[in-house]
Structure 1
Amino acid sequence: MRILWTTLAAGAFLAAASGVAIAEEPVLSLYNFGNYTSPELLEKFKKETGIAVTVTDYDSNDTALAKVRAGGSGFDMVVPGANFVPIWIAESLLLESRPDQMPNFKNVEENWVNVDWDPGRHYSVPWQWGMIGPVVATSFYKGDINTSAIWLDPPAELKGKINVAPEKNDVLYAAIKYMGGEWCTGDKELLKKVRDKLIEAKESWVSMDYGIEKMDSRDTLAQLYYNGAAYRARKVNADIKLGFPKEGYSLFMDSVAILADAPHPENAKAFLNFIMAPENAALISNFATYANGIKGSSAFMSEDLKSAPELNISSEHLAAAGWQQVCPTDVDELYTRIWTDLLK
């Protein structure tokens, strides 16, 4: 039987989890990607704990990191991507909150426990995971969509109608793979080819921003974008399909972590435990339409989402997928130069 938490009950859990009872104002601040937090989840959390959560949006991992690095953000929690978590940990920006010792940690799927970016989950809890690939209006283009050529060597039907998500590592990962390289390569000759290809391809793009909704109105006919957003676009136009580039593409997992200088760390620990309950993880997925890493959550997810081809990636397509490890500083500097040139 689930316990209906009051603020007092939440405090009892926190005292047991941390060994120290701390009286905190019943508020919490979450710093997260835009349009990525379920209002229903926050309402339920407040009802069960008495803790009100406010959300501040950011548009990229880089933006979030820069904001918190500057100090005095006032936020309690952040949701960095897998390739950024080691940076946050190395710079002592996160609290070692030990989610692995929380009651609901037993619900985390085994493959998301001993992850490279947070072994054993001492700092972070799964939020959502997915991939980025070409999203195409197939009424306008009948060719192969399982290739990054859709946006790097675009067919005539799509030129001038392409949007690319402005996330440096996602774009560069796919471009490097398309040009025959491996992630974190420092091969300057190859990277020059990658740079030249991106700048050439940009002539065929109409924009670089966050906005899958542009496909709803056909302002764009193709995008390099995320699978959950592709699902939402298909719900508006049935001809929208997600491609899985055979050259290679990157997976992502965003995880919630508590900031080292969080004003309300015990409230934040309660939130981490809360979202590891299957029914609560399902609220996150039902809202933002990505998979989560919590066992049993599918029982509470919408039927359409559970069967969505965008979220159920076949083993064949997963074979071409990879993770973005944190690259050496000198390599990342090369990637930043390419990105800077692309954004000019």
Structure 2
Amino acid sequence: MTRKWMTTTAIAAISVLGLAGAASAAGELNIYNWGDYTSPELIKKFEEQFGVKVTVTDYDSNDTALAKVRAGGHGFDIVMPSANYMPIWINEGLLLEARPDQMENFKHVDERWTNVDWDPGRRYSVPWQWGVTGIGVNTKFYKGDLNTSAIFLDPPEELVGKINVTPEMNDVLFATIKYFGGSWCTTDKEVLVKVRDKLVEAKSKWLAMDYSVTDKLPTGDYAGVYYWNGAIMRSRIQNPDVKFGYPKEGFPIFMDSAVILKDAKNPDNAKAFLNFIMAPENAALISNFAKYANGIKGSEQFMDPAMKDAPELVIPAEFEKAGEFLLTCEPAVQELYTKIWTEVQK
């Protein structure tokens, strides 16, 4: 139900938005985000503070989100692309240059994330969450080495037919290229043939490629996964038999950011939301739900203490050099990778 009134709290909150633009006193906000990635508590707080009805729609991959928005007629205001896809969204003119760098709460963004390669100066985006893609195993089924991509590329017998792999193309190709000693964005034909053949072979030993990990890894429906660290931490909280591993051959580091679509129907509400999530206490709500780091200074004091030393969030020194930020490849390379991925999906 749309509210047509404004509380004193909402008025006070809007007054601090400054150059972010005046937020609507009522109306709607439509968010398009990764599945199981949006804190209900955060959404409820925003709705109550601004008198805005928020609808969240899920997607399962960067390609799904990009295709949906490209097609038009989507009705979304905000989407959460990963860093390696941000240049595509910007270059295709799909985003509103909302200037979050001029918003009141931008002062809380950690310096590491204020001037990033994929959005110099943060003219379009604000940090949502960041983390790594790694290995999760229910040790009831397997007690061997977790720190290797062999878990899903050459799975041990105990895990065959019980593995879930993220349906995100670049994460999977990154790990597989590294598994064969290649570099991200490589065009080395010998390496890429190995990557294609291995993934086609390995897929026959997987059970699924979806994002229902937090439901199925703790229960044993999945015995092993190649997936994102926050979801695996959430699985461990439910079942301590779940353990996390950092692939020693190489693993991707990602950041997802909140952006406003160029054709958003509710741009003022969307700007208010971007400013809202840069407040430390609100960024903490995002992290406390999904269990990823968020990129906002001061949010730590509001976060679940268990996250501070969580093995899924603190990369051991021995694996730090194996992690690499997942950046955008040249269009020709991306097209080549898409062809490989299409073959894997058959």
Query: What TM-score range do you get, normalising by the shorter chain?
Result: over 0.9
Name the residue aligned to 1:302.
Answer: 304
Partner of residue 40, structure 2:
39
Closer, same or farther: CA 156–116 of 1 in aligned 2, 3 Å: same
Deviation at 1:5, TM superposition (A): 6.2
What's the counterpart of residue 77 of structure 1?
Answer: 78
Q: How many Å apart are 1:216 and its aligned residue? A: 2.0
1:274 and 2:315 matched: no
Secondary structure of the residue aligned to 1:206 is: coil
Structure 1 residue 305, shift from structure 2 partner: 2.4
1:83 match: secondary structure: helix
- CA offsets, 1:267-321, max 9 Å, x none? 1111111111110001011111111111111111112223311112234322111
**Using a 3 Å threshold, how does the CA distance of structure 1 residues 9 and 122 change in structure 2: closer, same or farther?**
same
Superposition map of 1:256-335 within 5 A: 256-335=258-337
For residues 141-184 of structure 1, give each alpha carbon's deviation from its aligned partner in whole angstroms, at most 9, with x where no partner exists.
Answer: 23221111111111222222211111111100000010111111
Query: C-alpha separation between the residues in 1 aligned to 2:296 and 2:110?
Result: 5
Q: How does 1:80-229 map to 2 (within 5 A)?
A: 80-212=81-213, 213-229=215-231
* Conservation of the 8 A alpha-carbon contact between 1:5 and 1:49: no
Alignment of 1:10-89 (within 5 A): 11-13=14-16, 16-17=18-19, 25-89=26-90
Q: Using the alignment, how far apart are the partners of 1:162 and 1:233 within structure 2?
A: 15
The answer as to whether partners of 2:23 and 2:272 remain within 8 angstroms in 1 is no
Percent of matched pairs sharing the same residue: 63
- Is the Cα–Cα contact under 8 Å of residues 174 and 250 in structure 1 kept in the other structure? yes
Return the alpha-carbon distance in structure 1 between the equivalents of residues 275 and 25 of structure 2.
17
User: CA distance change for structure 1 residues 256 and 21 in 2, over 3 Å: closer, same or farther?
Assistant: closer
Aligned with 2:84: secondary structure?
A: coil
Separation of aligned partners in 1, 2:108 and 2:262: 25
Query: What is the alpha-carbon distance in structure 2 between the residues aligned to residue 241 and residue 111 of structure 1?
Result: 29
Question: 1:7 Cα deviation (Å)?
Answer: 4.4
CA distance in structure 1 between the aligned counterparts of 2:257 and 2:84, rounded to whole angstroms: 11
Q: TM-score, normalised by structure 1?
A: 0.93
2:23 and 2:292 map into 1 onto residues whose CA distance is 35
Q: Secondary structure in 2 aligned to 1:131?
A: strand
Q: Is the Cα contact below 8 Å between 1:24 and 1:264 reproduced in 2? A: no
Look up the SS of the partner of 1:205 in the other structure: coil
Amino acid across the alignment from 2:192: L
Specify the SS of the correspondent of 1:46: helix
3-state secondary structure, aligned to 1:84: helix
Per the alignment, in what secondary structure is the counterpart of residue 137 of structure 2? strand
Q: CA deviation at 1:226?
A: 0.9
RMSD over aligned Cα atoms: 1.8
Task: For 1:132, give the aligned amino acid.
Answer: T
- Does structure 2 retain, via aligned residues, the 8 Å contact 1:134–1:224? yes
Gaps of 5+ in 1: none
Partners in 1 of 2:204 and 2:38 — Cα distance? 34
> Who is 2:3 aligned against?
none
Aligned-partner SS, 2:19 = helix
Q: Give the letter for the 2:337 counterpart.
A: Y
**TM-score scaled by structure 2?**
0.93
